[in-house]
């Protein structure tokens, strides 16, 4: 059986699940059966995951990329494109299987399924349980469409779809204004990104005459010289889209707020899958990016900057989900750094390992929040290792993995990224940009240290020491500041458990079992990227060989993975482990060895300004509020004002002149003509009097004058263009 005959089931099954549960949520009367909801939601996802695995296995046997077109979605036909050529504006709805889409598909289906299982436990007490799973399944459908689509337009459909699901899920606790605002922020920021993406798609059509991956990449790879000139603009447009979806600077602001949604959503959408769509897009477009070293350098710089920027914010956060949110932004930065320095496989490798340990961390955080009856402030936790051992161990494993300690997953992927940055040179860009990746390498090392520090800070504050729950209520001035970001899981719980404010408790197996699976993944997933140089084989890692087919040779030159001397490789590994250990040791001395946390408090007191800046996330939200948002609103108000008042203001002068000249005459017209007309139309006395008043304030005449001015404007425009044309000609 050809893969195409059943591949469509992979995205479609979750859609069917979403439809069934969505319909039940909207129309079923009374209490909905949770068993049925679970059966539909989990069953469809599991089945989809199994079929996906089967397809992956079949692909693995032959390693032949496979593309199947199901229907001609937009049969637009031919049109002119750049250079007087005819391009094909058709869009087909097709799916594509190759090593990249399989990797993404496996991550999405299996991690998605695990998180569904977890959510049955976590969301058990919530209102709108069925609706929640309908949204979650719909998300799975859109995400699978995004990663499996065979052209950019289908990717865009999925892209918009996952966005929509994300807003709906962020706002799932819809009775809270914060969640509503967070959803709105995510939406608007993503629109800026989509603007870039959509422009990129149109530019593709314009220059390549198609948006199909295979055709675009074949053209670009076959004739690189022809497209080099346009690649930079095209790639930057696409990258703007990626920045929006994958929360890169300066469009990252929505992601931390998005954590207002339920924790399984944070894990699935805002850590493991949706936010990595931008990385997927850049890696998918690697042929285009490789044509433009400038664009690659931009990607690398934005990635590295985001990595360090978000990591430093993470140092000072006290909300457990906020720490993880900034950590996610930072790790996504790593992935873009990797893509920017040409280590596309490392980007996807880190994407995959990150999906394991970050999902584990988020779900662990959810378990902690669940156990502490909705508390998210780490200053009110502590000593939870005693109460929730399974959560403790699994989260501990994931923390070690993200910190980059071998042989856990995060170490291999992060090391590969840093090594790639270290060895990359942009020769064609000249000094000093040629060796700029070395700077990015340094930034990446620093960010790695911060990561190790804030993750172990989280670990020590949460699981080690004494429980500070009830005793430290009403802590500090900043507690209120963070509080509105909470997912406030307590709402549905307080009455069920009857231990609000009591001792924390371990979560049910449906949650911790998932944590275990993800923890095991966090340990093992890195082995596929084991650097074979260490055992004396000079060849790409297994993961690199797996993804090699998508790195098409450009202009006949095959893609080269960086190769290094064994000694150099070992030195880099030692350095990257060393920075991680330094971070961990500092966290240990700050938060474990000294239970009163005197050192960090001294530091914060010693540099209050710096601490404030970090705590308030560099005031970026405030800056945006004061500039971009204010600017748009002011512009809109100005336009509105012009529209309603231009009449009374600028034009009034003209009217007065007219009245002076025609004086009496116009009054007569008003009296007889207008009165007559009005009386004909309006029988009510009140209507006609108000109407007359409005007529006499000149609104209508002035509107007519505006129209006259409009004609003049058109004439001026015409003449201006004429003159310009003459000057050019």
Footprint on residues 64-93 left by other proteins (CB under 8 A): 71-77, 79-81, 87, 89, 91
In whole angstroms, how far apart are CA 131 and each of 25, 134, 172, 266? 5, 5, 9, 17
Residues 453-482 that bind other proteins (CB under 8 A): none
Least distance CB 267 / other proteins (angstroms): 21
Stretch that binds other proteins, among 447-455, 477-485, 493-501, 709-717 (CB under 8 A): 709-717
- Of 496, 458, 415, 564, whose CA–CA distance to 121 is shortest? 496
In whole angstroms, how far apart are CA 247 and each of 92, 196, 384, 484? 29, 14, 31, 21
Dihedral over Cα of 623, 629, 635, 641: its sign: negative
User: CB–CB of 499/630 below 8 Å?
Assistant: no
Least distance CB 207 / other proteins (angstroms): 10
Dihedral over Cα of 171, 177, 180, 182: its sign: negative
Least distance CB 13 / other proteins (angstroms): 18
Look up residue 169 and give its two tokens: 């899920």
Stretch that binds other proteins, among 49-57, 458-466, 561-569, 635-643 (CB under 8 A): 635-643
Looking at beta carbons only, is 200 or 444 nearer to other proteins?
200
Candidates 12, 50, 192, 615; binder of other proteins (CB under 8 A) is 192
Contact between 281 and other proteins by CB under 8 A: the answer reads: no
Look up residue 495 and give its two tokens: 């009455």
Contact between 542 and other proteins by CB under 8 A: the answer reads: no
Least distance CB 168 / other proteins (angstroms): 6
Contact between 643 and other proteins by CB under 8 A: the answer reads: yes
Cα distance between residue 78 and residue 76, in whole Å: 7
Candidates 187, 387, 516, 597; binder of other proteins (CB under 8 A) is 187
Looking at beta carbons only, is 19 or 527 nearer to other proteins?
19
Cα distance between residue 193 and residue 251, in whole Å: 8
Looking at beta carbons only, is 199 or 552 nearer to other proteins?
199
Candidates 473, 639, 668, 669; binder of other proteins (CB under 8 A) is 639
Candidates 537, 557, 630, 640; binder of other proteins (CB under 8 A) is 640
Q: DSSP class of residue 237?
A: H
Candidates 473, 593, 668, 713; binder of other proteins (CB under 8 A) is 713
Looking at beta carbons only, is 622 or 643 nearer to other proteins?
643
Residues 146-185 that bind other proteins (CB under 8 A): 153, 156-157, 160-161, 164, 167-168, 171, 174-175, 179-180, 183-184
* Mask for 196-235, x = binds other proteins (CB under 8 A): --xx--xx-xx-----------------------------
User: CB–CB of 303/339 below 8 Å?
Assistant: yes
What spatial distance separates the first Cα and last Cα of the chain, rounded to whole Å? 63
Cα distance between residue 190 and residue 181, in whole Å: 14
Looking at beta carbons only, is 527 or 682 nearer to other proteins?
682
Contact between 707 and other proteins by CB under 8 A: the answer reads: yes
Q: Cα–Cα–Cα angle for 717, 721, 723, nearest 5°? A: 115
Looking at beta carbons only, is 393 or 682 nearer to other proteins?
682
Least distance CB 680 / other proteins (angstroms): 10
CB proximity list for 278: less than 8 A, separation 6 or greater: 193, 241, 242, 243, 244, 245, 246, 248, 332, 336
Least distance CB 44 / other proteins (angstroms): 20
Least distance CB 257 / other proteins (angstroms): 13
Residues 657-696 that bind other proteins (CB under 8 A): 677-678, 681-684, 686-688, 690-691, 694-695
Contact between 589 and other proteins by CB under 8 A: the answer reads: no
* Mask for 23-42, x = binds other proteins (CB under 8 A): --xxx---------------
Cα distance between residue 572 and residue 554, in whole Å: 30
Q: Each residue of 301-318: b (16+ CB within 10 Å) or e?
A: bbbbbbbbbbbbbbbbbb
Residues 89-128 that bind other proteins (CB under 8 A): 89, 91
- Of 183, 221, 42, whose CA–CA distance to 118 is shortest? 42
Look up residue 510 and give its two tokens: 């449906």
Contact between 697 and other proteins by CB under 8 A: the answer reads: no
From the number of C-beta atoms within 10 Å of its C-beta (0-12, 13-18, 19+), residue 177 rates as: exposed
In whole angstroms, how far apart are CA 482 and each of 317, 318, 323, 339, 477? 9, 8, 12, 34, 10
Least distance CB 71 / other proteins (angstroms): 8
Least distance CB 15 / other proteins (angstroms): 12
Least distance CB 193 / other proteins (angstroms): 9
Looking at beta carbons only, is 25 or 337 nearer to other proteins?
25
Residues in binding contact with other proteins, number by CB under 8 A: 82
Cα distance between residue 136 and residue 113, in whole Å: 10
DSSP state string for 55-124: HHHHHHHH---EEEEEEEEE---EEEEGGGEEEE--EEEEEEESHHHHHHHHIIIIIHHHHHHHHHHHTT
Least distance CB 222 / other proteins (angstroms): 23
Looking at beta carbons only, is 571 or 628 nearer to other proteins?
628
Least distance CB 375 / other proteins (angstroms): 24
Contact between 432 and other proteins by CB under 8 A: the answer reads: no
Candidates 534, 637, 668, 669; binder of other proteins (CB under 8 A) is 637
Cα distance between residue 674 and residue 688, in whole Å: 10
């Amino acid at each position: 059986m050809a893969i195409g005959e059943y591949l469509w089931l992979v995205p479609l099954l979750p859609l069917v699940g979403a439809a069934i549960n969505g319909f039940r949520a909207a129309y079923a009367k009374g209490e909905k059966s949770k068993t049925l909801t679970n059966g539909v939601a989990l069953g469809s996802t599991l089945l989809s995951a199994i079929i996906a695995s089967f397809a992956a296995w079949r692909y693995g046997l032959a390693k032949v990329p496979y593309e199947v077109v199901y229907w001609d979605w937009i049969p637009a036909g031919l049109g002119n494109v750049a250079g007087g050529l005819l391009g094909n504006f058709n869009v087909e709805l097709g799916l594509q299987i190759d090593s990249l889409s399989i990797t993404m598909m496996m991550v999405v289906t299996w991690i998605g399924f695990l998180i569904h299982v977890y959510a049955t436990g976590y969301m058990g007490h919530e209102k709108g349980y069925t609706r929640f799973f309908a949204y979650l399944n719909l998300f799975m459908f859109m995400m699978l469409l995004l990663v499996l689509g065979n052209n950019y337009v289908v990717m865009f459909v999925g892209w918009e779809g996952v966005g929509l699901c994300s807003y709906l899920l962020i706002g799932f606790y819809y009775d809270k204004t914060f969640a509503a605002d967070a959803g709105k922020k995510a939406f608007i920021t993503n629109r800026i990104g989509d603007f870039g993406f959509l422009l990129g798609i149109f530019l593709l059509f314009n220059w390549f005459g198609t948006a199909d991956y295979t055709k675009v990449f074949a053209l670009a790879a076959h004739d690189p010289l022809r497209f080099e000139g346009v690649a930079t603009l095209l790639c930057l447009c696409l990258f703007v889209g990626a920045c929006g979806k994958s929360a890169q600077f300066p469009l990252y602001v929505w992601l931390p707020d998005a954590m207002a949604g339920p924790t399984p959503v944070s894990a699935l959408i805002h850590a493991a899958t949706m936010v990595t769509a931008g990385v997927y897009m850049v890696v998918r477009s690697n042929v285009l990016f490789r044509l433009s070293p400038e664009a690659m350098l931009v990607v690398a710089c934005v990635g590295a900057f985001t990595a360090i920027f978000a990591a430093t914010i993470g140092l000072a956060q006290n909300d457990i989900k906020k720490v993880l949110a900034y950590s996610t932004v930072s790790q996504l930065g790593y992935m873009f750094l990797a893509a920017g320095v040409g280590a596309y496989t490392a980007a996807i490798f880190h994407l995959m390992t990150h999906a394991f340990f970050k999902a584990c961390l988020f779900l662990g955080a959810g378990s902690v929040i669940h156990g502490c009856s909705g508390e998210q402030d780490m200053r009110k936790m502590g000593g939870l290792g005693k109460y929730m051992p399974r959560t403790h161990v699994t989260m501990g494993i994931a923390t070690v993995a993200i910190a980059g300690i071998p042989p856990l997953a995060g170490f291999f992927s992060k090391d590969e990224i840093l090594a790639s940055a270290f060895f990359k040179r942009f020769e064609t860009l000249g000094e000093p940009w040629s060796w700029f990746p070395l700077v990015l390498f340094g930034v990446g090392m620093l960010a790695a240290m911060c990561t190790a520090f804030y993750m172990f800070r989280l670990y020590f504050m949460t699981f080690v020491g004494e429980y500070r729950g009830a005793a430290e209520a009403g802590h500090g001035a900043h507690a209120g500041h963070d509080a509105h970001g909470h997912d406030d899981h307590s709402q549905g719980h307080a009455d069920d458990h009857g231990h609000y404010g009591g001792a924390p408790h371990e979560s049910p197996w449906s949650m911790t079992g998932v944590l275990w699976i993800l923890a095991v993944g966090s340990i093992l997933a890195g082995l596929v990227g084991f650097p074979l140089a260490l055992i004396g084989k000079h060849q790409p890692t297994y993961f690199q060989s797996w993804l090699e087919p998508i790195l098409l040779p450009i202009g006949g030159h095959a893609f080269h993975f960086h190769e290094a001397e064994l000694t150099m490789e070992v030195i880099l590994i030692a350095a990257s482990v060393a920075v991680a250990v330094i971070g961990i040791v500092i966290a240990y001395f700050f938060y474990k060895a000294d239970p009163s946390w005197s050192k960090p408090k001294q530091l914060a007191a010693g540099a209050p300004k710096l601490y404030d800046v970090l705590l308030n996330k560099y005031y970026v939200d405030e800056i945006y509020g004061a500039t971009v948002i204010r600017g748009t609103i002011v512009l809109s108000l100005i336009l509105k004002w012009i529209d309603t008042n231009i009449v009374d203001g600028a034009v009034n002068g003209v009217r007065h002149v007219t009245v002076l000249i025609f004086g009496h005459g116009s009054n007569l017209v008003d009296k007889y003509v207008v009165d007559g007309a009005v009386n004909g139309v309006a029988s009510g006395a009140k209507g006609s009097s108000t109407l007359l008043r409005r007529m006499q304030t000149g609104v209508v005449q002035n509107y007519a004058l505006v129209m006259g001015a409009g004609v003049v404007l058109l004439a001026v425009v015409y003449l201006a263009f004429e003159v310009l044309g003459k000057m050019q000609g």
